[in-house]
Structure 1
């Protein structure tokens, strides 16, 4: 069964267009225990929203987990993990953090309750709601 995620990246460091250009990216540098546990829980084929943090503050695209957790190549301690992701499609229109906060159906979303969490799980209903807000077909599962 597909799981859904929201993954944050600063667009100045690595944005949606970088992932599209590269065709596959390594999601590394996560140094929060809960976010790292979320990376470890991902399975190949899971879907994630690419969220631009700091600048933009909006979900901009859909990506697929293409490789499950492996040791983060940037971590000399061996404690942290990374995953690989591939772009699926851009959202038809970005969905801002402000818009998400205004939707009652998203009130329990982990990212809204823990704003510093860089990798968060989404329920199937939260996923469908955000895709509908983006103008994608309601209930679309990419």
Structure 2
């Protein structure tokens, strides 16, 4: 059997995962970037500047993204308790319901995909993913974990 190199393997895996997420999001009329936004907001209430950093977008792109999500009733902007010049972005109840719906289907897809592996391989994969994501986030000054307190 031919070996898959790391770069090609991760690229192909990312296409599979993104494709599954995109299909599940589309079932609920949500784009992939909106899905990323909701995923980030699920665990935190960032400022617009923080959101731009977390999504890897410029602030003007994030402003448009938030404007569209706000019109759809998915997010609200609330005044920052520490800086009157900025606002925090928060999910609405409607968005939280949407996250649950999209996540359930996506989780089923990924569980089926990795379920083909032996249990120890699944455990090792989870560990490696966690270590890789944590190291990448630390190198870019991003907190992966809940910042909502």
Taking structure 1 as the reference length, the TM-score comes to 0.26
Greater Cα radius of gyration, structure 1 or 2:
2
Bigger proportion of residues as helix: 2
Bigger proportion of residues as strand: 1
Q: Which has the higher contact order (CA 8 A, sep 6+)?
A: 1
